[in-house]
Amino acid sequence: MNRLKTILLVSVILISQSLFSLDHIQKINTRLDNIYKSNDIKPNGRVNDDLYVRRAYMQIAGRIPTYDEYNSFINNSSKSKRHELVDKLVNSEDFVSNWYNYWADILRPTDRLTGVNYLVGEPYIEWIKQSIRSNKRYDIFVSDMLTSTGNIYDNPATGYFWKDRGMPLDNLAGTSEIFFGTDISCAQCHDDPFQDWTQLDYYKFAAFFAQNQENRGTKEEIASVDKIRKTIIETRKKHEDEMASESDAAELDDITKKIVARGSENRITQLLRASTINIQINEKKTVKLPHDYAYEDAKPNDVVEPAFLFGKNAEMQTPNDYRKDFVTWGTSPENPLFAKNAANRFWDRVFGVPVISPINNIPYPLQTIDEDLIKDLEQIFKDVNYDFKQFVTILYKTNLFERYPYTKEVNSDFKFQGPLLRRLTAEQMWDSIATLYVDDINYFKDQYAMDYIELMSADIATLDIKAAVEMSDKYNEIRRSKYKNAEKYKSLVLVRSSDITIPNATSNILRELGQSEKILIQDSTRDGSVTQVISFMNGPVSEMISDKKSKMSKLIDGKDRKESIDIVYQSILQRKPTLQERSDIEAYNIEDIMWALINSHEFKFN
Amino acid sequence: MKMDRRTFVNNIAKAGLGVSALSIDKRLAISQDKAKAKNVIYIYMEGGMSHLDTFDPKEDSETKGEFSKIATSADDMFISEHLSGLAKHGDKMAIVRSMMVGTGAHAQAQYNARTSYRPVGTIIHPSMGSWMSWLKPTEGTLPGNVIISGPAKHPGSGWLPKKHSPVPVIDPSKGLQYSDIKDMNMFKSRWEILNKINKNVNDNSTSPEVRAYVEFYDETMKLLQSSELDKFNIANEDAATREKYGNDRFGQGCLLARRLVESGVSFIELKSGGWDTHVNNFESLSNKLPSHDKSITALIEDLEQRGLLESTLIVIATEFGRTPKINVNNGRDHFPGAFSCAMIGAGVKGGEVFGETNDQGTKIISERKVEPKDFNATIATIAGLSVDQTYFSPTGRPFKVAGGGSPVLDIIA
């Protein structure tokens, strides 16, 4: 059974439009109005259509609008066009890409997920995207990962555990931080001096996941791989000399030739092993305290039983897989942190500042910008039954989303007068640049994950040597051809950042712009660096937009100068030049103006 | 939200450990009498440099290998015959022969060498150059922390702000990537438009993030137009000098390092690869060592001639040693139990050999074993960074420059 494939084939798009949405939007608007009133401050005004369309695309679609998209919004005379645009964008592939980037920063999927060669992250990546695309309920999205078993291709949600392979305690610290907004990493090694967690608590928490066990495969599979490995070694020994002579080599069949030419048995056997390795539940596995455990409440090497760390403790119902008890309690509406953490995180992503800080370690007593606001958000997320898309749609339709940005340092004066002015993320920046070059930013359809899943689903237990060699060839082919159909500019692969999984020139640019290395949770940065600025000013990105093949160049082809300048401004900054700017730039040529606009602070901030 | 986090850190710091996040002045308030080095050139031999064939030569027939030892300008300091250039400068050099590390895996040991910490899943620790850039910011247009021919995986600035990451020079003969401006007139006119478009933001923005960006663009533009950028271009050196350093990547990297030291770059890491000699150890080292010896010797002599060696510390480091036992492939395998590192120049007690291994080179027999964090604490002390001060990451976790290591005072002048 191949779960991902089934999901993909039955691709059902759920358009969630609850009758209660309007009430929820109103509730947030009223709450914010009360905050302004009680603090005696004026919120920022409502942005014009130019700024609105730029923000909506940037925050919902993860990129600037195209020239056509910009115009179609500006020329639309509907009174409710802003909310209509939100509805359009949240149901687009852009939305999937944008929120995938958010989760990628947190869950850190990469092409090589673990130390296991050929166990690649692409199925997991595709699974995350598909979960967003099908608007999987948030609690189910989380449970799917936390209770996953199987192979990476059979159940890609296992990527959550593969990512931290061999580091179950770090994985647990991640689970606590990501889904419960609580940083317990200190307690991994010692009682947390600043909070209530003890090292013993940490281990009790870890006991929920202690039954996870890595399994190399069935006896038959392991025997089959060993047999193939032996065959390869013997074949090589036997025919190595013949290969040295051209006439002798001609006598050999293709498979034999390939085996000998490849030189090592490792590539094929490692590929087969990646296909059989999986995560299973071993009921008998437990977690023990470390040998140097130093506190009085237990002894070193004691076996620890699972117990919840925050909120009420409950009876264990599923001792044969404690993880199920974990998610039952963890995702229940009674859990004090699950919905609160998610609401706070999504709000932060949309408006740039969380209601509770720090986002990864919700402090007690709560330090919030407004306690009622976070209560409202938590309740709304529960009321919509953890419907992620509906929840963020509500946020996108608030008055706050339409206000001028807040452009001062965030301190105690900040009460959500407007969304925070932020530098674009690395992904927003790259996707916006690419939007100016290719015709349709979502043109690239990545087949790699599906091809990989199909390839790895082979029945290894009955595989013969010929099929094994072919499987290895096929693997190399699908990996090599991943970007075969992608547009390129010099060495840059022009696909969305959410489709960049294999390191290349584009991933280097993304890293320079601050994309995370995907080792630590939320390690991306909006900081500048000298190399980043140099590369933007004088690297391939600086020349790409004015290249003759770019959409930007095609748009102004044959147009007079005034019109060209308008198009360039509207394409890059989503506005016309001011009168002052028109006269300022009069003496300069259009390529130089394009260069200046993509290097401008206005382009890089939203 | 940065402010809140900082407040949070301050609060826990005060509550827990009686220290607060410090201003730069306070960060530097340490004893400066040992702080002789303004600049550090950190030469990293990636893969695990064989101690027996370099700085800890032996006589034992089983483990000695194919090389002989030679005397140096310092009494009782012997090194490999392939390091004859360095031998002339034994009086300026200190060797630590009792280095050890807890792991024989490259990635972990390299991380440990560069950060003084073991890798963990929840935080990345800053490398020494980033600590230096953060604690002792340089003045002028050039960045304070540069890495030449660096590896793909490097801890970089860790939890410190990204601006303290080492600026990479991929190929020393090509200089800083994308810094070569083909048409300066065009570039200047572009810069003029940019300033006009940015004018409103430049003059009026109150957003700290925007202000930081404005500064970055200004600094980068200054750098791109500055004559200092020339320092990255070793083509400006005459042929004789380039030849003296050796016309290979490592030699040219040493030359670039000298140019950067001259212009005030405070920390330069120079990586050299290919020391993982599992196979044909002696053949490959008999090629590698003389060329590296030539380049490092040229660096020492050039710095000395320019009066810069008294303010520049040169470090030769690696992640672990290699097995005294020679394997079937005439190679040596990983050996974390004993290895050697060296220091030359500013702040170093020349002619000093610290620590000792047994006659076979299989075991440290001197009392004190020196871990990477202790070696880094020695570098930090010579460079004027406090190794006792606790600093807090944005997540509120406490760290020290050299991970709590103690400097090897015997080799500090």
Write down the ipTM of this complex.
Answer: 0.85
Q: Which residues are bridge partners to A343 per DSSP? A: none
Q: Which residues are bridge partners to B391 per DSSP? A: B399
DSSP state, residue A65: P
Residues of A in contact with B142 (CB under 8 A): none
CA–CA dist A377, A35 (Å, integer): 15
Cβ contact A393:A89 at 8 Å? no
Residue B80, classed as helix, strand or coil, is strand
Provide mean pLDDT across the span A390-398: 98
What's the pLDDT band for B364 if we cut at 50, 70, 90?
very high
User: What pLDDT is attached to residue A270?
Assistant: 95
* Shortest distance, CA B308 to any CA of chain A (angstroms): 27
Residues 6+ apart with CB under 8 A from B127: B114, B115, B154, B155, B156, B157, B158, B166, B269
Residue contact A601–B212, C-beta within 8 A: no
Mutate which: B167, B186, B193, vs A, most A CBs within 10 A: B193
Cβ contact A128:A100 at 8 Å? yes
* Shortest distance, CA B164 to any CA of chain A (angstroms): 9
Residue B353, classed as helix, strand or coil, is strand
Indicate if the pLDDT at residue B34 is higher than 80: no
Residue contact B4–A367, C-beta within 8 A: yes
User: What pLDDT is attached to residue A20?
Assistant: 63
Residues of B in contact with A353 (CB under 8 A): 1
What's the pLDDT band for A5 if we cut at 50, 70, 90?
low
Q: Which residues are bridge partners to B147 per DSSP? A: B168, B269
Cβ contact B281:B65 at 8 Å? yes
Q: Give the tens place of pLDDT for each residue, A399-451.
A: 999 999 999 988 889 999 999 999 999 999 999 999 999 999 999 999 999 99
Bridge-based pairing of strands B352-354 and B93-99 is parallel
Q: Give the tens place of pLDDT for each residue, A482-515.
A: 999 999 999 999 999 999 998 899 998 998 898 9
Cβ contact A210:A281 at 8 Å? no
Q: How many Cβ pairs closer than 8 A exist between chain A and B?
A: 160
CA–CA dist A55, A48 (Å, integer): 11
User: What pLDDT is attached to residue B139?
Assistant: 80
User: What pLDDT is attached to residue B22?
Assistant: 42
Indicate if the pLDDT at residue B279 is higher than 50: yes
CA–CA dist A271, A206 (Å, integer): 31
Measured between alpha carbons, how far is residue B391 from residues B10, B20, B134, B181, B381 in Å? Answer: 11, 8, 12, 40, 16
Residue contact B219–A530, C-beta within 8 A: yes
What's the pLDDT band for B218 if we cut at 50, 70, 90?
confident
Highest averaged pLDDT of the listed ranges A48-62, A258-272, A295-309? A48-62
**Which residues numbered 320-379 in B keep a CB inside 8 Å of some CB on A?**
none
User: What pLDDT is attached to residue B229?
Assistant: 85
DSSP state, residue B83: G
Q: Scanning every residue of chain B, which has its alpha carbon at the shortest distance from the alpha carbon of A174?
A: B122
Residues 6+ apart with CB under 8 A from A487: A437, A438, A443, A493, A494, A495
- How many C-beta atoms surround the C-beta of residue A401 within 10 A? 23
The gap from C-alpha A450 to its chain's centroid, in whole angstroms, comes to: 18
Residues of A in contact with B121 (CB under 8 A): 164, 167, 170-171, 173-174, 520
**Which residues numbered 219-278 in B keep a CB inside 8 Å of some CB on A?**
219-221, 223-224
User: What pLDDT is attached to residue A3?
Assistant: 57
Provide the H-helix boundaries in A337-446.
338-351, 371-383, 388-396, 426-435
Tokens of B15: 């509550």
Which among B86, B126, B95 is positioned nearest to B267, based on CA atoms? B126
Residue contact A535–B219, C-beta within 8 A: no
User: What pLDDT is attached to residue A194?
Assistant: 66
Provide mean pLDDT across the span B251-256: 97
CA–CA dist A134, A12 (Å, integer): 6
- How many C-beta atoms surround the C-beta of residue A216 within 10 A? 12
Q: Which helix (H) or strand (E) holds A419?
A: none
Between A472 and A9, name the one with better pLDDT.
A472
Indicate if the pLDDT at residue A9 is higher than 80: no
Tokens of A126: 């595709």
The proportion of chain B whose per-residue pLDDT surpasses 90, expressed as a percent, equals: 69
User: What pLDDT is attached to residue A251?
Assistant: 82
Q: Give the tens place of pLDDT for each residue, B185-200.
A: 999 999 999 999 998 8
Residues 6+ apart with CB under 8 A from A56: A82, A85, A86, A89, A396
Tokens of B324: 């005294």
CA–CA dist B69, B172 (Å, integer): 32
User: Quick check: B123 contacting A, CB < 8 Å?
Assistant: yes
Q: At what angle do helices B184-204 and B208-225 cross, to 10 degrees?
A: 160
CA–CA dist B128, B401 (Å, integer): 7
Residues of A in contact with B122 (CB under 8 A): 170, 173, 185, 188, 520
- How many C-beta atoms surround the C-beta of residue B58 within 10 A? 22
A159: left (phi over 0), alpha (psi -120 to 50) or beta: alpha
Residue contact B396–A194, C-beta within 8 A: yes
* Shortest distance, CA A357 to any CA of chain B (angstroms): 7
Indicate if the pLDDT at residue B413 is higher than 90: yes
Q: Scanning every residue of chain A, which has its alpha carbon at the shortest distance from the alpha carbon of B186?
A: A592
Q: Is the pTM of this model over 0.80?
A: yes
Residues of A in contact with B187 (CB under 8 A): 538
Provide mean pLDDT across the span A228-250: 87
* Shortest distance, CA A74 to any CA of chain B (angstroms): 23
Residue B179, classed as helix, strand or coil, is coil
Residue contact A409–B189, C-beta within 8 A: no
CA–CA dist A472, A578 (Å, integer): 59
The gap from C-alpha B272 to its chain's centroid, in whole angstroms, comes to: 12
Indicate if the pLDDT at residue B268 is higher than 50: yes
User: Quick check: B170 contacting A, CB < 8 Å?
Assistant: no
Domains of chain B by residue range: 24-60+71-81+98-173+264-282+311-411, 180-224
CA–CA dist A311, A362 (Å, integer): 14
Which among A97, A59, A61, A110 is positioned nearest to A523, based on CA atoms? A110
Residue contact B178–A538, C-beta within 8 A: yes
Residues of B in contact with A188 (CB under 8 A): 122
Domains of chain A by residue range: 427-448+484-604
Identity of the residue numbered B234: I
Measured between alpha carbons, how far is residue B283 from residues A246, B38, B273, B288, B290 in Å? Answer: 32, 38, 16, 9, 12
Residue contact A539–B177, C-beta within 8 A: yes
User: What pLDDT is attached to residue A6?
Assistant: 52
Residue contact A596–B187, C-beta within 8 A: no
Candidates A363, A407, A529; nearest CB to B206: A407
* Shortest distance, CA A494 to any CA of chain B (angstroms): 20
Residue contact A596–B193, C-beta within 8 A: yes
Candidates A174, A361, A534; nearest CB to B179: A534
User: What pLDDT is attached to residue A19?
Assistant: 54
Candidates A409, A519, A539; nearest CB to B124: A519
User: What pLDDT is attached to residue A311?
Assistant: 67
Mutate which: A356, A374, A416, A531, vs B, most B CBs within 10 A: A531
Which among A278, A282, A279 is positioned nearest to A322, based on CA atoms? A282
Residue contact A599–B2, C-beta within 8 A: no
Candidates A359, A422, A531; nearest CB to B168: A531
The proportion of chain A whose per-residue pLDDT surpasses 90, expressed as a percent, equals: 74
* Shortest distance, CA B305 to any CA of chain A (angstroms): 32
Candidates A174, A359, A525; nearest CB to B162: A525
CA–CA dist B258, B298 (Å, integer): 10
Residues of B in contact with A183 (CB under 8 A): 395
CA–CA dist A398, A32 (Å, integer): 10
CA–CA dist A499, A100 (Å, integer): 10
Q: Scanning every residue of chain A, which has its alpha carbon at the shortest distance from the alpha carbon of B208?
A: A409
Ranking A526-540, A560-574, B238-252 by mean pLDDT, the lowest is A526-540
Q: Give the tens place of pLDDT for each residue, A134-170.
A: 999 999 999 999 999 999 999 999 999 999 998 898 8
CA–CA dist B292, B302 (Å, integer): 15
Q: Which helix (H) or strand (E) holds B110?
A: helix B106-115
Residue contact A596–B197, C-beta within 8 A: yes
CA–CA dist A154, A275 (Å, integer): 10
